[in-house]
């Protein structure tokens, strides 16, 4: 699959189905394959760890960005290409100017605020443990604020992103 085809595969997701791995083609074993697992890019940890202040010093991401770019370049050079790539673990350690942290794993919507930092937990695409529908969170970031809304997959598919959120993205 070419890079253009691989990038376009996610635009083909419809009706809770991603046709990158079609049932027809994947029904039977066709031989060995490999995939890549990457973990813990943890942006902000390297500086914090190097100066011994992991609670307050995650304000620089330079090293982690370079390493992540190197990892992507290395995977893109592989031949044959991996079947897929999975990224696991801690994505960030700290974020300069953070106003909100978005996470999952709780399988229901939740959150709270502590010292002007909003913690937003989005419910699952898959197995639900709460009353929320299977869904996704749309996050709009403007120069002034971060606005987010959870949408059930069916609602997002049928109605799209709300006009109020779309209007925020049109402002410069």
Identify the CA nearest to 123 among candidates 104, 139, 151, 100. Answer: 104
Measured CA to CA, the distance from residue 151 to residue 142 in angstroms comes to 20
Measured CA to CA, the distance from residue 36 to residue 71 in angstroms comes to 10
Interval 2-37: pLDDT, tens: 555 555 655 666 665 666 777 788 788 887 788 888
CB 115 within 8 A of CB 66: no
Q: What is the pTM of this model?
A: 0.49
């Amino acid at each position: 699959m070419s890079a253009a085809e691989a990038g376009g595969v996610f635009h083909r997701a419809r009706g809770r189905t991603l046709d990158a791995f079609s049932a027809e083609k994947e029904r039977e074993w066709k031989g060995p394959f490999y995939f890549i697992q990457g973990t813990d890019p943890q942006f902000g940890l390297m500086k914090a760890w190097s100066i011994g202040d992991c609670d307050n010093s995650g304000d620089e991401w330079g090293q982690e960005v370079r390493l992540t770019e190197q990892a992507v370049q290395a995977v893109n050079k592989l031949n044959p290409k991996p079947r897929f790539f999975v990224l696991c673990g801690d994505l960030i350690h700290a974020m300069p100017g953070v106003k909100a942290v978005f996470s999952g794993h709780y399988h229901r919507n939740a959150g709270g605020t502590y010292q002007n930092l909003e913690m937003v937990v989005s419910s699952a695409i898959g197995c639900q443990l709460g009353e929320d529908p299977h869904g996704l969170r749309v996050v709009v970031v403007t120069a002034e604020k971060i606005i987010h809304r959870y949408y059930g997959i069916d609602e997002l598919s049928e109605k799209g992103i709300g006009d109020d959120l779309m209007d925020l993205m049109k402002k410069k």
